[in-house]
Structure 1
Amino acid sequence: DNVNTHVGARMRRLIETRPWLTVFRLPTYAPELNPVESVWSHLKRGLGNLAPCTLADLAQVIRSRLKQMQYRPALLDAFLAHTGLTTDLRST
């Protein structure tokens, strides 16, 4: 997204010190390439009829549902597949 903290000198140094890390620069606004957008979309669909009493209640529900997603690798794989991106570095 080209936020200064994402492309600045400090971030470049952080990336350079991690040889196992591969970074791909994406266009400034490309939600279709960001699997997190699918995660939030999926999460928000399940919150439509929820009426939490407090912000803390809402935060707890969100944490719980994100934790549930964590144990569904096929769902997480689908979010990545939806972008058309791959984690297989040999195909890049």
Structure 2
Amino acid sequence: MRYAQGGGLTAERRAFRERLRLEAAAGFVRGDDNAAIARQLRVHLRSVQRWRLAWSQGGERALATKGPASYPLLSDELFAVLERELDKGPVAHGWPDQTWTLARIKTLIGRRFHKTYTVQGVAALLKRHGWSAQVPARRAVERDEAAVAGWVKDTWPQVEAPRRRSGPGSCSKTKPALR
């Protein structure tokens, strides 16, 4: 089963499902019918059929949990190395500008660690470690911060329309209208 957040089953949920499979194995030993086991365990008949097939081929060991569906490709130690590489900047790794993109980080992981991620996998990896998307502010090269600050302080108050004071207006429900 897949989840929208990209996760899988928790350890507790995997253990619960393994207990169900082992209870089904006890039913197989007793000679119970697949439909009866499915009703008793409140699972789908097809699941019991798959479990019986696995049990007949490998015994109870075949019904044991196999652990999480996937392990993270980059350990915490390797992610710390990746962070140091990202701190160096894209130019240090051969890109012409100072913008990190998910595709560039994916390429960096491939070059540095010989691991393959998808772009979505890189986004999930970064998010899992507290990184967020940053969009650079687009500013003109000729921008004069002192002139902008002066304009905001002196000119803008004259241009901006005065705000109305808050309070009951003429159509307020709290005051009856004068006639």
Tell me if TM exceeds 0.5. Answer: no
Q: Higher relative contact order at CA 8 Å, sep ≥6: structure 1 or structure 2?
A: 1
Whichever of the two has the greater Rg, that structure is: 2
The alignment's TM-score, normalised by the length of structure 2, stands at 0.20
The alignment's TM-score, normalised by the length of structure 1, stands at 0.32
